[in-house]
Amino acid sequence: IRIPDVIQKKRDKYELEPEEIKFFIDEMVKGRIEPVQLGKSGVSRKLRIYHLKSDVNGLVLQWNVTKGTDRPHRLHDPFRFILLLSRVGETLSWPEEWKTMLVDKHSTGGVGDKVSLVLAPALAACGLKVPMVSGRGLSFTGGTLDKLEAIPGFNVSLTNEQMRECLKHAGCFIAGQTESLVPADRIMYAARDVTATVDNISLATASIISKKAAENISALVLDVKVGRAAFFKNLNDARLVAKSLVEAARDQGINTTAVLTTMDVPIGMAIGNSLEMMEVIETLRGKGPADLVELVKIQGGLLLNSVGRTDVSKGQQLIEETLHNGAALACFEKMLVHQNVDVRLAADLCSGGYQLTRAKYVTAILSPLSGRVLDIDALACGSVCGALGAARARASDEILSAVGIELLVTVGQSITQGQPWANLHHEEQSVASDLLVKLQNAVVVGNAPHATFDAPTTRIL
């Protein structure tokens, strides 16, 4: 088999054989595929590995016909792709007695989305084991690993032995793909980010579920984001993604639930890696913003229910308790130490006595009017942070951890003209005027008599 032949076959819309896909993935992992070939065959919008586009069309068609009663046979195609992606590397293995305790959560990506960072230790505090293989920022969204790396010393590249130790003592770890763990996703993930292919349903399914399959977990909850600051902007697309993810995960033997949650306004009050990490710690200290806590509780409750620990509402209550009684914070602190953070620093950080590095400059963004805050555009906030260095434009770009936005108001709150609604944290003294204007326009202030806090709306599939 030769790579150009595989690409040509794909280009001419012939179905690839499993061994051809396997060959392609193997060669990619060995670094023997030129970037331009990767773009042409796997992640370009025109040509996708293994019928990815027609899978999506097939999925729509089949779901319409069968109304979801039977599994559409076309779904087998991305499933095989996922299986191959995850099997190129190794699958994690755990002691038999943990079998029913192993759970995880994954989001399709949002702005200010730090739910995983709170939920993993909260679940650990409830006695579950959370082997979380996570990702970096994609496009305008933040990445869990990038956020964690804002903490000095934090190591996201764990050996299997370190993962096991971390699960044993802290109950959770959060790590990245490595050269042996889902290595193919590591390469495709970075390539997708810079080729504008993050919103492809099959590639997202393969990316997310290959990681979860490699974790060898029993139950999974998926947070499928819907809205202007999500990759899947409307409910129809988000439903398709959710179905694709749930079917693919169940095909891997994982008991899976998906929730659809809105992603229009930033989650919590912090956007940007360091600022979000500080908000995570505050949330683990029982002082988190209401919308973030709600998302953590919803997904935690579902997982506790999935593994038969309790019903969903009692599960939510248990999760909330761990945020108030210090149990989740204690698991988080242990995780930091097992992932290479200095013991003293971890303790100081968790007691609120240590602040992560702040950006050199802070610019207050003022309200144009007096009235109520009717909207804060998460997409605008995420793009401005990205443009100032909080996200990558190229796979090799360094991230500026301290860049971000601190929101000072929530939707529904009153504000007066000239009052700051956000602080922009930046590293260069001057901020390009188009970015400042974009951020200034991200807030809508008006006089609607009854603007209330827009809690995340959820749909459980």
Q: So which residues are the catalytic ones? A: 106, 185, 192, 207, 211
Cα 437–chain centre separation = 28
CA distance 435 to 266: 17
DSSP assignment of 275-344 = HHHHHHHHHHTT---HHHHHHHHHHHHHHHHHTTSS-HHHHHHHHHHHHHSSHHHHHHHHHHHHTT--HH
Between the alpha carbon of residue 232 and those of residues 42, 240, 295, 339, 453, the distances in Å are 20, 9, 18, 33, 23
Q: Of the two residues 233 and 438, which places its CB atom closer to ligand URA in the complex? A: 233
163 Cβ contact list (under 8 Å, min separation 6): 92, 131, 173, 175
Residue with tokens 């999974």: 220
Provide the minimum distance between the beta carbon of 138 and ligand URA in the complex, in angstroms, as a whole number. Answer: 6
Range in contact with ligand URA (rule: CB under 6 A) among 120-128, 205-213, 274-282, 392-400: 205-213
Provide the minimum distance between the beta carbon of 311 and ligand URA in the complex, in angstroms, as a whole number. Answer: 29
CA distance 133 to 421: 35
Provide the minimum distance between the beta carbon of 204 and ligand URA in the complex, in angstroms, as a whole number. Answer: 4
Q: Of the two residues 176 and 268, which places its CB atom closer to ligand URA in the complex? A: 176
> Counting contacts by CB under 6 A, is residue 78 touching ligand URA?
no
> Per the structure block, which two tokens stand in for 336?
């930091």
Q: Of the two residues 185 and 377, which places its CB atom closer to ligand URA in the complex? A: 185
> Counting contacts by CB under 6 A, is residue 135 touching ligand URA?
yes
Contact track, ligand URA, 104-123, x by CB under 6 A: ----xx--------------
One of 86, 139, 197, 207 touching ligand URA (CB under 6 A) = 207
One of 21, 163, 170, 204 touching ligand URA (CB under 6 A) = 204
Range in contact with ligand URA (rule: CB under 6 A) among 80-88, 113-121, 206-214, 443-451: 206-214
Q: Of the two residues 206 and 365, which places its CB atom closer to ligand URA in the complex? A: 206
Provide the minimum distance between the beta carbon of 209 and ligand URA in the complex, in angstroms, as a whole number. Answer: 9
Backbone angles phi, psi at 271, to 5 degrees: -130, 135
> Per the structure block, which two tokens stand in for 257?
């639930």
> Counting contacts by CB under 6 A, is residue 208 touching ligand URA?
yes
Residues within window 392-451 making contact with ligand URA, judged by CB under 6 A: none
> Counting contacts by CB under 6 A, is residue 252 touching ligand URA?
no
Q: Taking the CA atoms of 120, 121, 125 and 129 in sequence, report the sign of the dihedral they define.
A: positive
Provide the minimum distance between the beta carbon of 191 and ligand URA in the complex, in angstroms, as a whole number. Answer: 11
Q: Of the two residues 211 and 372, which places its CB atom closer to ligand URA in the complex? A: 211
Provide the minimum distance between the beta carbon of 208 and ligand URA in the complex, in angstroms, as a whole number. Answer: 5
Contact track, ligand URA, 183-202, x by CB under 6 A: ---------------x----
Q: Of the two residues 109 and 404, which places its CB atom closer to ligand URA in the complex? A: 109
> Counting contacts by CB under 6 A, is residue 300 touching ligand URA?
no
One of 47, 122, 138, 170 touching ligand URA (CB under 6 A) = 138
Q: What number of H helices and E strands is found in the chain?
A: 18, 13
Tell me which DSSP letter residue 200 carries.
-
Q: Of the two residues 108 and 410, which places its CB atom closer to ligand URA in the complex? A: 108
CA distance 155 to 167: 15
450 Cβ contact list (under 8 Å, min separation 6): none
Q: Of the two residues 207 and 322, which places its CB atom closer to ligand URA in the complex? A: 207
CA distance 391 to 399: 6
The residues facing 106 across adjacent strands are 222
- Listed residue (428, 420, 419, 407) closest to 361, CA to CA: 428
Provide the minimum distance between the beta carbon of 313 and ligand URA in the complex, in angstroms, as a whole number. Answer: 28
Helices marked H in 360-422 — which ranges?
378-385
CA distance 50 to 210: 16
How many residues lie near ligand URA (CB under 6 A)? 9
Footprint on this chain of ligand URA (rule: CB under 6 A): 108-109, 135, 138, 198, 204, 207-208, 211
